[in-house]
A and B are shown apart, each in its own frame.
Chain A
Amino acid sequence: MIVVKDLKRYYGSGETAVKALNGVSFEIKKGEFVAIMGASGSGKTTLLRILALLDDATAGEYTIRGLKVSSLPEAERSYYRLTQVGYVFQDYALINEMSAAENVYVLSMMEGKSKKESYKTALEALEKVGLKGKEDRIPDELSGGEKQRVAIARAIAKKPDIMFADEPCANLDTNNSKQVLDVFKDLNDNHGQTIVMVTHEHWHTEYVDRVITLEDGVLVSDEMMDESGEEK
């Protein structure tokens, strides 16, 4: 589904250039739940942002279902982000002045659905992440875990091909982290949702099918995991 070939991302140029990604290649199949791991500065967030079309690669190729998305013009990338890609930010990235439901249904309205239909979709997504009854609350009235679940609801409401999550549990305690990961696991197991998640917590590997590890911008390992989070 996703094919990444020799992806590079340099900041600056010449000898002082920082090579955040230096020739990364891999493939992700539909329905996989992949964790990208690595130490701080290894390039995992940079990789995720390029995959989610939030940033541009310096070189290399990146396709989703055969479409070379890395070379799409900004208007098409925007449409792709809206319809095909879900992104969960580390710090939730909710609009503070919008209720939970509005944060979710604004995307459906952007897609052209009616307000009523969009609201219904938002309620379903919020219910799926366990936030039924909290649709009218604004982000400040929700806990960290709840905010992250609103962010997940926003990402899944449009039923994206792929969902990207950038350290979604970084600001959450263990209990809330488990709730968020359970939601991911459920989406992956029961709805076939492809998920690519950046994390630095080893215990998160219990939830994923596969772990890609980066080090200094280079892919150093790509391993399938069993249900206990051990390498197969």
Chain B
Amino acid sequence: MINDIRVGALIASSSVKRGNKKTLVFIVFVLSLIFMNLVFLPSMIGGMTVLFTGFMQDYPYGDVVIEPTGDNTYINNADSVLKKVRAVEGVRAATKRLDVGASIDHKQNVVGVTVTGMLPTEEYEISQYPYIITDGDFLGELSRDEIIIGAMIAGTGFGSEIYDNLGEVKVGSLVDVTYSNGVKKTYKVKGIMEGTFELVDLNALVHYKEIEEVYGLEESKATSVVVRIDKQGTEEQIQDKIREAGVNEQVFTWADKSETLIKQAMQSMGAIDIMSKFVSLIVGAALILIIIYINILNKKKEIGILKAIGITPRSIVLSYAFLSTFYVSLGIIAGLALYLSLMLYFQANPVVFYETMEIRPVIDPMLLIQSIITMLTLSVIAGTLPAWSVSKESILKAIWGR
């Protein structure tokens, strides 16, 4: 076996050293594209996932969210919960919210929405809502009878044409809001918000006190308590600490909530990701096999000669396994260089999705390692199988074709 390896290595190294350099460059180029094909789309999908999960943190859920237990609609005494949460080490900020269902009408256009009652001054530390006002102003501490409308329902933002909208509502327009308990109230539009995210742009915001009054709530009720933390990645520890601090409501991390809420979207993307990886793998395997097979067919006579002079078929097969591993290794290196260049490019020039969503691809080291292992495994198979098949042919057929 040692002799087979030594001879296989000698045959492979002389082939690399004195083989056609243009062919080598071409093979490496094609292999680098195969590698790119394996890693690029998953990176883009990873970027989309980061974008969506970022939305989850920046708007509805923060880093950790506390919700009522069981069938309860509200967290009772949310201020007490907030006091306990704010005392937890690692918590940067927390606020309470009241989400209710309502319909808004304006000039005979009616749209169903979720209206979130919030404490505006606290939201600056919690969410991006105060920073996505494209027209008008965000709510203030004294805002009463004022509302912030999402751009999609206002009829001004991207995507308005897809959803029912109020038909060009502007800052200063008056809209009627009918809450789920039947109470109807007129609000003046204070601002239009555009977060380029349906969960935001199809909603409306009012002051917390508005919802309290409309629903007659007392003793600081809330549908959720949204928490931001100091250090990303410590959500689960903070979740435990909040429970330990005596909060008996349900405590979720943003990931828990994202899983349920955007699970379907992620599953769809995950399915696309798996399919794309599978197709890339099949295409990659086929291409590597074709490249190496053509290379071997061109050297069929040489294989016959090697057999005729007494070189073992095992040495011959090993030489092609070495050769194809070498080609694929160079292909991976070139592919990595190409991939990282493209990553740098797309970090600086993100892909714009739905006109406003900027997707920056994510470099996933595990994906890269998996792809490298896959390519190397394929290379051994692609190098071994055709060489093994040719080495099994009779010497006369391999050398003289008969």
Contacts and interface: CB of A to CB of B under 8 A. Distances in A.
B315 A110 contact: yes
A55 interface: yes
A106 B18 contact: no
A110 B7 contact: yes
B309 A97 contact: no
Contacts of B309: 81-82, 87, 93, 107, 154
A167 interface: no
Q: How large is the interface on A (under 10, 10 to 19, 20 to 34, 35 or more residues)?
A: 20 to 34
B308 A81 contact: yes
Nearest to A46: B396
A54 B302 contact: no
A95 B310 contact: no
B395 interface: yes
Interface residues of B, number: 25
Given A95-B305, A106-B11, A49 B396 contact: yes
Contacts of A55: 394-396
Contacts of B396: 49, 54-55
Contacts of A146: none
Give the dominant DSSP class at B's interface: helix
Interface string A135-174: 0001000000000000000100000000000000000000
B311 A110 contact: yes
B10 interface: yes
Interface in B347-402: 394-396, 399
A93 B10 contact: no
B14 interface: yes
A94 B17 CA distance: 16
Contacts of B18: 96-98, 138
B201 to A, nearest CB: 64
A38 to B, nearest CB: 19
A97 B13 CA distance: 9
Contacts of A79: 310
B306 A95 contact: yes
Interface in A107-145: 107, 109-112, 115, 138
Contact of B14 (A52, A75, A85, A97): A97
Contacts of B302: 95-96
A109 to B, nearest CB: 5
Interface string A52-92: 10110000000000000000000100111111010101000
23 contacts: A49-B396, A54-B396, A55-B394, A55-B396, A78-B313, A79-B310, A82-B310, A87-B308, A87-B309, A89-B308, A95-B306, A97-B14, A97-B18, A97-B19, A98-B14, A106-B11, A106-B311, A109-B3, A110-B7, A111-B3, A112-B3, A115-B6, A138-B18
Interface of A: 49, 52, 54-55, 75, 78-83, 85, 87, 89, 93-99, 102, 106-107, 109-112, 115, 138, 154
Given A78-B310, A97-B18, A98-B14, 13 more contacts: A49-B396, A78-B307, A81-B310, A82-B309, A89-B305, A93-B309, A95-B302, A95-B305, A98-B11, A98-B18, A106-B10, A106-B11, A110-B315
